[in-house]
Amino acid sequence: MKHLHYISSLFLLTISILSCHQMQRQEKNFRNDFTAGEQKTLEAAKAIISRAYFGTLITLNEKGEAKARLMEPFAPEEHFVIYLATNPKSRKVKEIKRNHQATLHYIDEPRTGYVSFYGKIYIVENDSIKKVHWKKGWEQFYQNKTDAYMLLKFIPDYMELISIRDSLTGNPENWQPARVNLRD
């Protein structure tokens, strides 16, 4: 019986290490060589996010169907890495464990634009990182910060944006939005 417990613990540790390694690998090769046009698009994205406050996280269920949920993300960090919180028993957690592909979408407050980030999302197991990412007032949603609170980390590959106020209206012929690849 002790061997089974040991093997089970070793398996969980291995999965955690691989998940952390996968997250670290994902964070490498972010671009820093943006053109002036891309820089303008990145600044417009930051402004949209700050005005939007809420974002929509889109994950894929077991049938490959897109499932959208309104979320209260943290402000983006360097390279638009964005943390979000959820209930560990939510459907989105099961979807993320099955498939890391995700989209994070923000609508500009006066409805004159949007920004969508496409990338991967991971579950954060590190308690010290979880403690840093906590918002006052969440006590009413999460009974405690250990078992009832799960932190997610979204790592974008690229973004697409339309912003009328910033004259970023996309391609007039096919309506393709401005796109910035955030990673090489």
pLDDT tens for each residue of 103-123: 999 999 777 899 999 999 999
- pLDDT tens digits, 38-60: 999 999 999 999 999 899 999 99
Residue 118, both tokens? 């496409």
Instruction: Tell me the pLDDT band of 182, cut-offs 50, 70 and 90.
Output: very high
Q: Tell which CATH classification among 2.60.120.380, 2.30.110.10, 3.40.50.200, 1.10.3720.10 matches the domain 2-181.
A: 2.30.110.10
Boundaries of every domain in the chain: 2-181
Which region, left, alpha or beta, applies to residue 174 given φ > 0 means left and ψ of -120 to 50 means alpha? alpha
pLDDT tens, position by position, 63-72: 999 999 999 9
Beta bridge partners of 123: 152
Residue 161: what residue type? L
CB atoms inside a 10 Å sphere around CB 137: 8
Exposure b/e, 67-83, CB count within 10 A at least 16 = b: eeeebebbebeeebbbb
Global pTM exceeds 0.75: yes
